Structure 1
Amino acid sequence: MKYTLHQLQLFLEISQCKSITKTAETLHLSQPAVSIQLKNLQDQFSIPLTEVVGRKLYVTEFGMEIAEAAKKIIEEVDAINYKSLSYAGKLSGKIKISVASTGKYVMPYFLSDFMNKHKGVDLIMDVTNKTKVLRSMERNEVDFALVSVLPKKLKVNSVELMKNQLYFVGGSQLELKQVPTQKELFTKLPLIFREEGSATRNAMEQFTSKHSYQIRKKIELTSNEAVKQAVQAGLGFSIMPLIGIKNELKEKELQIIPVKGLPISTTWQVIWLSSKNLSPAATAYLEYLKINKERIIDSHFSWIKKYES
């Protein structure tokens, strides 16, 4: 057999994505290139690795065993590379971080200098909602997570980064001759929510419940970007993290509407399981955070002070 490491990496991704299209997008390849490599790998086995039912691709039981073996091989190759760098006196390894969706506006700035300095360190960052972030941490699938609310059921250590403030936001086309009353804002105007499991969704529901607001019409969207576009288009209003609407405020595409009791204020924190044995790369990253976080905040997030109440 003459299958290559590249083919094994590609098939491992197919087994996780269950889609040629998604695999191509993830690996930044064309769909034909993925299909050709899958065929070349399949040609070396007499038992099918995948099957197509209807228009959906499935990985066979045999294929899943090959994918599991491929994962072990790739991990061993990574270990060899990391050891080589270690012997050369360079920090090496892999850091896995799960980030609550609006944290994508924060986390890259706290990573860039560290990653540029340590070329032997690989980064895997998954951006998803709060529920999935905590699930990945509970299963010990990641080194760190970025959250705005500490989990109650997990024993974690944390490093505080910066404030996360949520404001009531409307489109710029809305001309308010006078600020609507609280009742008018929440009972007469459509309110746009994030999906279930989102920390922003939870914060909005806690706020409206606390004030006993009866929402007239609720719209649910599954990403912060989708909410922004909907609010800009005049579809409704929302309570949104300030960190995610910098450019829209600057370009006057969105406006903050003053509401008593807002902003909701939490703190972005990097957390990790108290019981976790951190790798040298992960330990070095924590030290970097503690030393450099204030400098990073001053360099990249000083604009927030303009809006803080």
Structure 2
Amino acid sequence: MRKTLMRMTLRQLQVFRAVCDSLSYSRAAEEMALTQPAVSQQIRQLEELVGQPLFEYVGKKLYLTEAAHDLLQASEDIFARLENLDMQLSNLQGNLRGELRLAVVSSIQYLTPHLLAAFRARHPEVSFRLEVTRRAQVIQRLQDNRDDVVLMALVPEDRALEFFPFLNNPIIAVARPEHPLAGQPGLSLKELETQVLLQREQGSGTRKACDEFLQQQRVHPQQLLQLGSSEALLHGALAGLGVALLTEHAAAPWLRSGELVRLGFAELPLYRSWCAVHARGKRLSPVAQAFLAWLREEREQIRRIAAPFTPPAR
């Protein structure tokens, strides 16, 4: 190893990471409570130790050099190890402390804060960083090792992942109370062939599950409208665009208010499971280990938390 690299300080790396995040010396200075010349000096000293420039201006925009990308990855490893050490030391003192980095697909975003609140009630010194995104981005985040744990359904089988189901994920059909199919029990899915069907975008876990299910049932809807999120599906149904297929957890507030109703298809709900996922072989922090253990061991509590998101059929 180069001797110059051993002279790097954690403070220099903190300033460097702030510049990388903001792509601005002035914003990094504000974030770090430093003057802009002080930030510039720290970066110059770091560049001398690395032996290469870390940033370059193209026009008026700041860009990371290849050396900066490598240093950023190394610094993330260093700070992750230090954070993990802090958690382990706290754990030895019988006091779990640290940050849980969690990514979830959008369909479970409404339920997740309630799960985190219940977990934090047991471990009040734990903090969270929650990212809500689409299934394709969640899978990419798993590949890039950006999170401790991911919550999703339909875990891809072609990746080196560890996962376990912790809660049922019912997919239902909803529409406005004035919809022609509303209030009719025992409907056949074939009815969807004559209705406008609202579905998620390609790549969504809900869309994938629905497409496979409808194909198995030999149902071929003729009028499909693709909307890019659970919120868009809900508001499409609220606007009277058609029948939406989505997770019950996402639709629950509107079902309880009566603004939407669950349609009585005999073949629904379609049951899938919410799963907790992480990369196989990943070194989990004590906080991540505790959260996964809580999901495994507190199934009854989790079902109670989810109960308001699973209103009874009408």
Give the TM-score band, short-chain normalised: 0.7 to 0.9
Deviations 1:261-296 (A, max 9, x none): 221111222233453343322222233233322123
| TM-score, normalising length: structure 2 | 0.73
Find the counterpart in structure 2 of residue 25 from structure 1.
none
Q: Percent identity?
A: 23
Find the partner of 1:165 among 160, 166, 170.
170
Is the 8 Å Cα contact of residues 9 and 74 (structure 1) preserved in structure 2? no
* Match among 112, 120, 134 for residue 115 of structure 1: 120
| Alpha-carbon distance between aligned partners in 1 of 2:231 and 2:103, rounded to the nearest angstrom | 19
**Match in the other structure for 2:234:** 228
Query: Of residues 218, 221, 225 in structure 2, which corresponds to 1:215?
Result: 221
Contact 1:85 1:120 in 2 (8 A): no
Distance in 1 separating the partners of 2:136 and 2:267: 26
**TM-fit CA distance, 1:199:** 0.7
One-letter identity of the residue aligned with 2:233: V
The normalised TM-score by structure 1 is 0.74
For residue 256 of structure 2, what is the aligned residue in structure 1?
250
Contact kept, 8 Å, 1:172 with 1:232, in 2: the verdict is no
Where does 1:257-296 land on structure 2 (aligned, <5 Å)? 257-296=263-302
Are the aligned partners of 1:158 and 1:270 in contact in 2 as well (CA < 8 Å)?
Answer: yes
SS at match of 1:125: strand
Question: Match for 1:241: what amino acid?
Answer: T
CA contact (8 A) 1:192 1:220 kept: yes
Separation in 1 of the partners of 2:292 and 2:141? 19
Deviation at 1:248, TM superposition (A): 0.4
* Amino acid in structure 2 at the alignment position of 1:160: P
Q: In structure 2, which of residues 192, 201, 204 is the aligned counterpart of residue 198 of structure 1?
A: 204
Match of 1:13 in 2: 21
Per-residue CA deviations over 1:80-133 (Å, capped at 9, x if unaligned) read: 654663564422344333322212233333322322443443433332223333
SS in 1 for 2:206: helix
1:49 shift after superposition: 3.5
- Conserved in 1, the CA contact under 8 Å of 2:153 and 2:275? yes
The alpha carbon displacement at 1:300 in A equals 4.2
Q: Indicate which of 101, 105, 108 corresponds to 1:96.
A: 101
Find the aligned partners of 2:199 and 2:154 in 1 and give their Cα distance: 18
Instruction: Give CA deviations for 1:156-202 in whole Å, capped at 9, x if unaligned.
Output: 4444322111111112343548858644533x332222122111110
- Give 1:249 shift: 0.8
Q: Which moved more, 1:153-162 or 1:279-288?
A: 153-162
Name the CA distance, whole Å, in 1 between partners of 2:182 and 2:310.
Answer: 26
* 1:42 Cα deviation after fit: 6.4
Q: CA RMSD in A?
A: 3.8
Q: Is the 8 A contact 2:160 2:279 kept in 1?
A: yes
Counterpart in the other structure of 1:26:
none
What is the aligned partner in structure 2 of residue 131 from structure 1? 136
Which ranges of structure 2 fall in alignment gaps of 5 or more residues?
1-10, 45-52
Matched, 1:185 2:192: yes
Of residues 237-246 and 254-263 in structure 1, the stretch that sits farther from structure 2 once superposed is: 254-263
Letter in 2 for 1:148: A
Gaps of 5+ in 1: 21-31
Structure 1 residue aligned with 2:157: 152
How many residue pairs match? The answer is 291
Tell me the distance in 1 between the aligned counterparts of 2:182 and 2:148: 50
**Is contact 1:167-1:242 (8 Å) kept?**
yes
